[in-house]
Structure 1
Amino acid sequence: MDFSSALPTFIITLREGVEAALVVGIVLAYLKKAKQSHLNAWVYGGIAGGLVVSALVGILFGFVIQSLGSSNQKYAPVFEPLLEGVFSVAAIVMLSWMLVWMTQQARLLKGQVEGAIGATLKGDNAAGWGIFGLIFFAVLREGFETVLFIAAKFQQGLVPALGATAGIVSAIAIGFLLFRWGVKINLRAFFLVMGIFLLLIVGGLVVSALGHFDTAISTLAQMDRQSEGLCFYYERFTKFPSCVLGPMVWNTSKVLPDHQFPGVILHTLFGYEDKLYVVQAVSYVLFLLIIGGVYLKSVMGWKLNSTKAINAETSVGK
């Protein structure tokens, strides 16, 4: 069995799971400090609820995919790559947004969570439900992103789900190391490295999504003469034609095929294609420049603010 497709989901759920674990750890620590540990059960209930609903969303997505694929057998070859492309775009948007947002909000996370808990505890009777909702949506948000990513790669079977499970278990272990056993982990370095991995994974998803749309349009054009005009590159590029992706940039299928090791690792992690076209290459570079630029700017802003805070504390100490 090829487990290479489990690597991207492992990395994504590990990173997103650690974010959720930070929220859970902050909540539990605050409740202990406020002598409200009797509300811990609501925290664990929120975790369980978020995981269950995430799994249900995954099952629902799988049902929708199967239903659309079997609703019209004639166009089933078109629906499958089209759905993969649509889910890929959704995953690209969600993961990119979370990558940038979490980096910008990371230095404020503790204060925001503690402020939300403090406001919730003032509600007395509604405190338990408020804490449950805070944890539930934190876990669900991370789980939903993983579900979208797996849905974008649903043709790879259960292997991505195994990677997601391993990522969740690892994130829980890191949470225990941080909050239960007091082990110090450089979270800034962790999120920086995982963020770069995530950026490359989502960039690869951009390449894959365009490939899926090209396959869907090409298949439709071959099935329906009225749709032949959609493949506008066929008329201009007769050698190595693509339907909508333009001329070929490279063909490394004989040197480094993307379905054999080590090409399959590069394919599943970074979207490497042994046959790459102009539109895919340009889109990949633009994605890295735009989203990667915003991400690195956020990281540099985080470091700058942290340095200012340290300098301010040093000045006050003097």
Structure 2
Amino acid sequence: MDFSAALPTFVITLREGVEAALVVGIVLALLKKAKQTKLNRWVYLGIVVGIIASGLVGLLIGWIFQLLSASNSPLGAVIEPFLEAAFGLGAIAMLSWMLIWMTQQAKSMKSQVEGAVNAALEKNTAAGWGIFTLIFIAVLREGFETVLFIIGKFQQGLIPTIGALSGLAVAAGIGVLLFKWGIKINIRRFFQIMGVLLLLIVAGLVISALGDLNEGMRTLSQMNRQSEGFCFYYERFAKNPSCILGPMVWDLSKILPQQQFPGLILRTLFGYTDKLYQVQAIAYVLFLFSIGGLYFRSLNSKTPVPQKNSKDPLTNTEKSASS
């Protein structure tokens, strides 16, 4: 059994899970400060319902995926790679947005969460539902992004799900270390490292999604003579061409095959392929320069630092959330 496919989802859920754990920890600390610990049950309920909802979304999307691609007709063989490409592109968009936007928002996470909790507490009768909604949305948002990524790698079976669950477990452990035991962890450095890994993982997903799209177009072009034109690269235009991805950039299948170690690890974690085509290479470089540039710019952007009260129990939390 190939457990290397669990690595990307482990990294993603670890990062996303820690971010959700920070929100949960901040809310619990604020409720303790406001002497409203009776509302803690709404926090835990939001966590459980958010995880269940994320799982149900994953099962629904997976069922639709299987239903559309399980046909015995030639059309089923065409639909599957197109679906994988579509979910891959969706995961690229969502994870890229999360990587940049959430990095910027995390710098003011504590103040945003504090404002939402205070607004909920002001509504005496609906305070519990307000807390529940805040936690539920935080957990569901992270879960949905992970579900999209897992579905994008659906052909790898249940192994990515194991990685996702492991990442959530470790993230929960980090949350306990931070808020229950008061152990100091450099969360800013953690998010920076996880962000770079995530950037490389999503860049690899660009290569994989384009490969799925190419396979779908190739299968479609072979169905009948009318669809032959979908593959517009031919031997007379380029040596060793793909269907729609242009000529081959490299063929390392004999030097570093993607089905053997260490190529297998590089493939599952960073999207390595032993046969890389021109469009894939260009898209990979453009993604790293554009999204990577925006990400590192967001890390370097400065935000005003609020004055901290040394007696405020949330001071360490605020430092941790500032990623």
- State the TM-score bracket (shorter-chain normalisation): over 0.9
Is 1:46 aligned to 2:46, yes or no? yes
The residue number in structure 1 matching 2:315 is: none
Separation in 2 of the partners of 1:238 and 1:101?
41
**Residues 147-188 of structure 1: CA deviation (Å, up to 9, x unaligned):** 000000101001000000000000000000000000111111
Matched letter for residue 265 of structure 1: I
Matched letter for residue 294 of structure 2: V
The residue number in structure 1 matching 2:317 is: none
SS of the residue corresponding to residue 276 of structure 2 reads strand
Is 1:94 aligned to 2:94, yes or no? yes
Is 1:124 aligned to 2:120, yes or no? no
The residue number in structure 2 matching 1:297 is: 297
The residue number in structure 1 matching 2:276 is: 276
Shift in Å at residue 203 of structure 1?
0.2
Check conservation: 1:84, 1:209, Cα contact below 8 A: yes
SS of the residue corresponding to residue 222 of structure 2 reads helix
CA RMSD, Structure 1 to Structure 2 (Å) = 1.3
The residue number in structure 2 matching 1:81 is: 81
Separation in 2 of the partners of 1:278 and 1:53?
40
Check conservation: 2:238, 2:246, Cα contact below 8 A: no
Is 1:309 aligned to 2:305, yes or no? yes
Separation in 1 of the partners of 2:221 and 2:191?
44
SS of the residue corresponding to residue 257 of structure 2 reads coil
Separation in 2 of the partners of 1:164 and 1:73?
33
Matched letter for residue 257 of structure 1: P
Separation in 1 of the partners of 2:92 and 2:241?
27
Separation in 2 of the partners of 1:38 and 1:238?
69
Shift in Å at residue 235 of structure 1?
5.7
**Residues 110-151 of structure 1: CA deviation (Å, up to 9, x unaligned):** 000000000011111111011101000100000001100000
SS of the residue corresponding to residue 233 of structure 1 reads coil
Aligned CA distance change for structure 1 residues 207 and 50 (closer, same or farther; 3 Å): same
Separation in 2 of the partners of 1:126 and 1:233?
62
The residue number in structure 2 matching 1:66 is: 66
Number of corresponding residues: 308
SS of the residue corresponding to residue 254 of structure 2 reads coil
Shift in Å at residue 225 of structure 1?
1.5
Is 1:167 aligned to 2:167, yes or no? yes
Separation in 2 of the partners of 1:205 and 1:236?
30
Shift in Å at residue 309 of structure 1?
3.4
Comparing 235-244 with 139-148, greater Cα deviation is found at 235-244
Separation in 1 of the partners of 2:41 and 2:72?
47
Comparing 249-258 with 230-239, greater Cα deviation is found at 230-239
**Residues 288-307 of structure 1: CA deviation (Å, up to 9, x unaligned):** 00000000000011xx43xx
User: Could you list the runs of 5+ residues in structure 1 that have no partner in the other structure?
Assistant: 314-318
Shift in Å at residue 106 of structure 1?
1.2
The residue number in structure 2 matching 1:136 is: 136
SS of the residue corresponding to residue 103 of structure 1 reads helix
The residue number in structure 2 matching 1:207 is: 207
Check conservation: 1:92, 1:206, Cα contact below 8 A: yes
TM-score normalised to structure 2 length: 0.93
Is 1:221 aligned to 2:221, yes or no? yes
Comparing 125-134 with 66-75, greater Cα deviation is found at 66-75
User: Could you list the runs of 5+ residues in structure 2 that have no partner in the other structure?
Assistant: 309-323
Separation in 1 of the partners of 2:196 and 2:23?
22
The residue number in structure 1 matching 2:311 is: none
Separation in 1 of the partners of 2:97 and 2:47?
23
Matched letter for residue 7 of structure 2: L
SS of the residue corresponding to residue 250 of structure 2 reads strand
**Residues 31-69 of structure 1: CA deviation (Å, up to 9, x unaligned):** 000000000000000000000010101110111011101
Is 1:155 aligned to 2:155, yes or no? yes
The residue number in structure 1 matching 2:196 is: 196
Matched letter for residue 145 of structure 1: E
Separation in 2 of the partners of 1:19 and 1:118?
20
- Moved beyond 6 Å, runs of 4+: none
From the two aligned structures, give the one with the greater helix fraction: 1
Separation in 2 of the partners of 1:92 and 1:151?
12
Comparing 74-83 with 181-190, greater Cα deviation is found at 74-83
The residue number in structure 1 matching 2:182 is: 182
Shift in Å at residue 239 of structure 1?
2.4
The residue number in structure 2 matching 1:316 is: none
Separation in 2 of the partners of 1:93 and 1:264?
25
Separation in 1 of the partners of 2:28 and 2:298?
28
SS of the residue corresponding to residue 223 of structure 1 reads coil
